[in-house]
Amino acid sequence: MITLLDRIARYAAGHWRRSLAIAAVLVAALGALAGTVGGQFTDEFSVPGTDSQRALDLLEDRFPAAANEGATVVFHADEGSVTDGERSQAIAGATREISRLDDVTSVTDPLSKRGAGQVSEDGSVAFATVQYDRPAAEVDPDDAEQLLTAAESAEGGGLEVAASGPVVDVAEQQLAPVGELIGIAVAVIVLTLAFGSVSAMLLTLISALIALAGGMMLLTLGAGVTTIPEVTPTLAVMLGLGAGIDYALLIVGRYREHLAAGESVPDSAAAAGRTAGVSVLAAGAIVAVAISGLLATGIPFVGRMGLASAVVVAGVAVGAVTLLPALMGAFAKRLRPRRAAGLGPSAAFARWDQRVTRRPWIALVAGIAALAVLAAPFTDLRLGQPDDGNDRAGSTTRVAYDELSDGFGPGFNGTLTLAAALPGDGDDSSAALARLTDELGRTDGVAAVSEPTLSPGGDAATITVTPTTAPQDERTSELVDALRDEVVPTATAGSGVETYVGGNTAIQDDMAGKIADRLPLFIVAVVGLSLLFLMAVFRSVWVPVVSAAFNLLSIAAAYGVVVAIFQWGWGASLLGIDGELPIVSFIPLLMFAILFGLSMDYNVFLVSRIREEYMRGAGPRESVVRGLARVSRLILAAGAIMTAVFLGFATDPDVVVKVFGIGLGAAIMIDVLIVRMVVAPAVMTLLGDRAWWLPAWLDRVLPHLELEGEREGGEPEGERERERDRRRAPLPQPAAAEAGSATD
């Protein structure tokens, strides 16, 4: 691998025109292929083997119109009733206008006979149900906007209108890539400060964006072959942009070090490729493995989301070691540093690292204590499903949610759908359905039960159950369990009617249960594969084990930050969130996979440089000080950029994306500032020579994935051993350490 990356970088930098032409042709071909063969991202959601999935499958098969969620338009009277004065005519006119919209198959007038039960008891709230001929994700945003415009035509005369539902969410989607723009703006500033060069900043940014574009083309291409969730592009851009800039930053930083030492452009590119390039591929592989581990959950949309994101991360890693050397050749004259001293080891970081390594136990305890404090809220984690009640106060979806809750009860926004498969033509099942309806009405926690609605073929029926409690209330989940375990089996026994409990609350409960069942396997798979990979890379047992342990602790700290902000409400109002927000069950799972991989990124960057110094003959503590002095500045810059990229997505209107952005941003900040700058140096110092111990039998079994590309020229083994004799030499002071490292 080292030889291959050396040759690729040397050729690309020496023949940059030809290399860029090849890259342009490949990107253009990939773009054309993605444009013709690629598919669309969908909101297809399934949790195979669960009761709620069986209910949904039954509806899609025998009740397709009921399976397509549309929108709910809510009419609210400030005073009096929605039927007072000309309000009735206004509501009727709005529903007629909605019925004329493209893709709308039906809309109920709540004031007509067909709209029975769609007006609150006090008459102040009414709602109309809008049905579309396709899933909400396939409704054009302009058509969704027309729905809001038609509904708002009823406003006036003391009548207010609001709307909610999947189609309304489509209309309110934020099209401007605010998160990406914030991340890029911060990257421009940080890269310019880190390199002291606009050209180096542009090189890093351009290569990362091109590699990200290639990864997204692969993602679009994949959507033409399999189903990829619609939230995946947002997650992939978040990861790909941050990782792409980080990888390019590391390689360009190493490249400029060799330029400053007087080496030629091809030689400098080759040296960067066989050192930083190998670290980048190793880091990218760990991230890809960790995220791909989501396939072990058994939930298709989660697994595909992880696999697709892993493809993008792998794409930016490969782009960093192939495209970047060609751009280095193109920018050659502008990248050579004017002051070589500015690229050497940092005296400030050398002083900091000497303080940490001088009293490693104190640093270790302090770091663990800080992580434990941040992780403390994690013990209060509450899984659930955010809904429109968590939207920004004053938004149309939040207004609709509150008005429906006030008019029809807290459970109206989280109704349960019972889907029943009927034997024969359904006539013989009427008694069973009536018995089921009666039993449901007598069940504690049920506010209302609708009459059974038969499918067009008469082979299925649906019953809507309105709980007395809100969707996020634990008692609603207990009601789901009671219906499945007791009420439904008792009422339908011997009738041949197979009934499944569905609805959003039921789906979320089933998904949480499935994730809980697969979580141990997932964690073992991700951590185990990462450990084996790091052992093969670093030829060590203790470094991977300790790294994994502290990665897990930093992930727990990130979970704690998420709970404090979104559940406890610390600053949540600044993010446009009102009240407590339960954490969707798959978010901790995704965060674990992503954060474990990204934490290993920085671990590889740091430890590979420490190992490189150790193999040159530096003692355990000296190698830590020298390694960190060289790479800390780049790690901090990379962490700042990735944190900004993630935090930028907190502006997204989707609360799930907000949680991801805040959680991942906080995690990177914690990992860089506490784990890499405090805990890791302390642990490496305490381990000493044992850090690089590997049993002989394991050394024979594991493949050799060397990171010390500087030895590619073939430093004799005996010479390396003689260099290690210097390990007991006294540590130099910061200034001396800087000068000594610069000559290595």
pLDDT of residue 366: 94
Q: Return the structure tokens found at 232.
A: 């995946």
pTM of the model: 0.77
d(CA 172, CA 680): 45
pLDDT of residue 744: 33
Three-state DSSP class for residue 21: helix
Instruction: Tell me the mean pLDDT in the region 109-138.
Output: 80
Q: How confident is the model at residue 442 (pLDDT cuts 50, 70, 90)?
A: very high
**pLDDT > 80? residue 552:** yes
pLDDT of residue 715: 41
Q: Is the distance from CB of 258 to CB of 268 less than 8 angstroms?
A: yes
For residue 719, being part of any structural domain is answered with: no
Which position has the higher pLDDT, 371 or 632? Answer: 371
Pick the range with the lowest mean pLDDT from 269-273, 330-334, 341-345, 738-742: 738-742
Instruction: Tell me the mean pLDDT in the region 690-702.
Output: 87
Q: 678 and 575 share a domain?
A: yes
Q: 97 and 243 share a domain?
A: no
pLDDT in tens, 205-232: 888 889 888 888 988 888 887 788 877 8
Which position has the higher pLDDT, 141 or 555? Answer: 555
Pairing of strands 416-421, 125-132: unpaired
Q: 228 and 287 share a domain?
A: yes
**pLDDT > 70? residue 729:** no
d(CA 605, CA 628): 10
pLDDT in tens, 581-615: 788 888 888 888 888 877 777 788 788 888 888 88
For residue 616, being part of any structural domain is answered with: yes
CATH number at 424 reads 3.30.70.100
Q: 137 and 264 share a domain?
A: no
Q: Domain ends where: 489, 508, 527?
A: 508
For residue 431, being part of any structural domain is answered with: yes
Q: 671 and 523 share a domain?
A: yes
**pLDDT > 60? residue 720:** no
Pick the range with the lowest mean pLDDT from 59-73, 163-177, 402-416, 704-718: 704-718
Instruction: Tell me the mean pLDDT in the region 506-522.
Output: 83
Q: Is the distance from CB of 598 to CB of 317 less than 8 angstroms?
A: no
Run of H or E residues at 198: helix 198-223
Partners of 381 in beta bridges = none
- Of 275, 283, 216, 271, which is closest to residue 247 (Cα–Cα)? 283
Q: Return the structure tokens found at 219.
A: 């993602």
pLDDT of residue 102: 82
Q: Is the distance from CB of 328 to CB of 239 less than 8 angstroms?
A: no
Positive or negative, the CA dihedral 237, 238, 243, 245 is positive
Q: How confident is the model at residue 705 (pLDDT cuts 50, 70, 90)?
A: low
Number of folded domains that form the chain? 4
Q: 599 and 661 share a domain?
A: yes
d(CA 346, CA 59): 64
Q: 145 and 262 share a domain?
A: no
DSSP 583: B
Q: 118 and 220 share a domain?
A: no
Three-class SS string for 83-98? CCCCHHHHHHHHHHHH
Q: 641 and 561 share a domain?
A: yes
For residue 733, being part of any structural domain is answered with: no
For residue 684, being part of any structural domain is answered with: yes
Which position has the higher pLDDT, 742 or 244? Answer: 244
Average pLDDT for the chain? 82
Q: Return the structure tokens found at 305.
A: 């989301």
pLDDT in tens, 11-34: 988 999 999 999 899 989 988 888
Run of H or E residues at 453: strand 453-454
**pLDDT > 80? residue 645:** yes
Q: 367 and 476 share a domain?
A: no
Q: Domain ends where: 482, 508, 534?
A: 508
Instruction: Determine what percent of the chain falls in helix, strand and coil, rounding each to the nearest 5.
Output: 70, 10, 25
Helices 265-272 and 232-260: angle between axes, nearest 10 degrees: 130
pLDDT of residue 740: 37
d(CA 144, CA 73): 12
502 is in which domain, residue-wise?
396-508
d(CA 634, CA 646): 18
For residue 545, being part of any structural domain is answered with: yes
pLDDT of residue 352: 82
Run of H or E residues at 467: strand 460-467
pLDDT in tens, 324-333: 999 988 887 7
Q: How far is CA 126 from CA 83, 112, 116, 129, 697, in A?
A: 10, 11, 10, 10, 74
Q: Domain ends where: 508, 536, 563?
A: 508
pLDDT in tens, 359-381: 899 999 999 999 999 999 998 88
pLDDT in tens, 268-326: 889 888 888 888 888 888 888 888 888 877 788 888 888 888 889 888 999 889 999 99
**Which residue bears the tokens 């574009």?**
213
pLDDT of residue 743: 33
Q: 502 and 522 share a domain?
A: no
Written as one string, the DSSP assignment of 474-535 is HHHHHHHHHIIIIIHHHHHTTT--EEEEESHHHHHHHHHHHHHHHHHHHHHHHHHHHHHHHH
For residue 550, being part of any structural domain is answered with: yes
For residue 93, being part of any structural domain is answered with: yes
d(CA 292, CA 312): 12
Q: 365 and 297 share a domain?
A: no
pLDDT of residue 734: 40
Which position has the higher pLDDT, 743 or 528? Answer: 528
Q: Is the distance from CB of 207 to CB of 236 less than 8 angstroms?
A: no
Residues above pLDDT 70, as percent of the chain: 89
Amino acid code (one letter) for 578: D
Tell me the CA end-to-end span of the chain in Å, nearest whole number.
Answer: 24
